[in-house]
């Protein structure tokens, strides 16, 4: 029963994530105002806004104008629901679960906004930094996953500084922008949440994933090495991989 509840709650929060993904880049209020079809602007009825089911029953089309509903809406709800379920399975009813669920919600929103708009809003990274640091004062948290407040503070500044330096030297040498400060803030989030030790691994893993992703288009010459790519999603992927194997990684060095 609790697994089903976790999945349903994940779907509901996934629906809210979709609202944020659409409205935040447009600087619209994420709380006020009913959801509407981007094509015909018709308000969406409550029974057409049920996670998963509405998309399936409507066959991915707006009931009013029959325009296609982007598959992203369904995927976001599915990712959110699955993440809630997996987190509950691993950590049960605990503060660790609550914290990871908060992080997942923010990460999903950042992932899809950066993927489409090449921006990472401060409204998302700043609260995550604050939560990541405040939680580190709780000595009862999962110590194998979350750092103490000193490690957290060092991790946040180390994460931001290393990306800032990369941006600075790249701009100095190439006379153009490389990464954005949004990426630096997102790496800082990782540091505040998981400590300085996580930073080198997340940067390495995210860089490797980004390279693997880019290789086919480089071979086909549909993009070159100077083509802009959203790096935020790769940082998130790198962070999730690190969190999944955190204990194994630490055991290799300690």
Number of domains in the chain: 1
| Span 108-133, average pLDDT | 95
pLDDT band at 254 (very low <50, low <70, confident <90, very high): low
pLDDT score, position 171: 80
Give the position of tokens 């994940």. 10
| Other CB atoms within 10 Å distance of the CB of residue 139 | 8
* More confident of the two residues 166 and 127: 127
Residue 253 in this model has a pLDDT that exceeds 80: no
Burial 150-182 (b: 16+ CB within 10 A, else e): ebbbbbbebbbebbbebbeeeeeeeeeebbbeb
Mean pLDDT of the chain: 88
- pLDDT at position 225, please? 56
In a domain, 164, yes or no: yes
Q: What is the pLDDT of residue 103?
A: 97
Q: Tokens for 100?
A: 């990871």
Confidence of residue 160 (pLDDT cuts 50, 70, 90): very high
pLDDT > 70? residue 221: no
Residue range(s) defining the domain that contains residue 158: 138-254
Mean pLDDT computed over 85-108 = 94
Determine, yes or no, domain membership for 198: yes
Give percent of the chain with pLDDT exceeding 70. 94
In a domain, 223, yes or no: yes
Residue at 147 is within a domain: yes
CA distance 13 to 231: 24
Q: 168-219 pLDDT, tens per residue?
A: 887 888 777 667 789 999 999 999 999 999 999 999 999 999 888 888 776 7
- Is residue 11 situated within a structural domain? no
Alpha helices in the chain (DSSP H): 2-23, 53-57, 71-91, 95-117, 122-135, 149-174, 181-194, 198-219, 232-244, 246-251
113 is a domain residue: no
**Mean pLDDT, residues 56-64:** 83
Query: Does 167 map to a domain?
Result: yes
pLDDT of residue 178: 65
Domain membership of residue 32 (yes or no) is no
């Amino acid at each position: 029963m609790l697994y089903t509840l976790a999945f349903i709650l994940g779907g509901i929060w996934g629906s809210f994530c979709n609202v944020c993904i659409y409205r935040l880049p447009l600087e619209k209020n994420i709380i006020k105002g009913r959801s509407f079809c981007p094509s015909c602007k018709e308000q969406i009825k409550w029974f057409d806004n049920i996670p998963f089911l509405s998309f399936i029953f409507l066959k991915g089309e707006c009931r009013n104008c029959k325009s296609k509903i982007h598959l992203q809406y369904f995927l976001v709800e599915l990712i959110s629901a699955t993440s809630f379920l997996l987190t509950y399975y691993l950590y049960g009813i605990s503060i660790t679960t609550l914290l990871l669920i908060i992080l997942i919600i923010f990460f999903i929103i950042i992932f899809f906004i950066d993927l489409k708009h090449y921006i990472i809003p401060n409204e998302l990274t700043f609260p995550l930094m604050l939560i990541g640091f405040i939680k580190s004062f709780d000595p009862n948290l999962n110590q194998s996953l979350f750092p103490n407040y000193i490690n957290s503070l060092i991790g946040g500044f180390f994460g931001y500084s290393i990306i800032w330096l990369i941006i600075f030297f790249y701009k100095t040498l190439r006379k153009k922008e490389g990464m954005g400060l949004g990426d630096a803030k997102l790496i800082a989030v990782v540091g505040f949440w998981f400590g300085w030790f996580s930073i080198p691994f997340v940067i390495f893993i995210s860089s490797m994933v980004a390279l693997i992703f880019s290789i086919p288009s480089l071979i086909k010459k549909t993009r070159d090495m100077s083509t802009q790519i959203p790096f935020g999603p790769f940082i998130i992927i790198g962070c999730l991989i690190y969190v999944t194997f955190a204990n194994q990684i630490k055991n290799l060095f300690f």
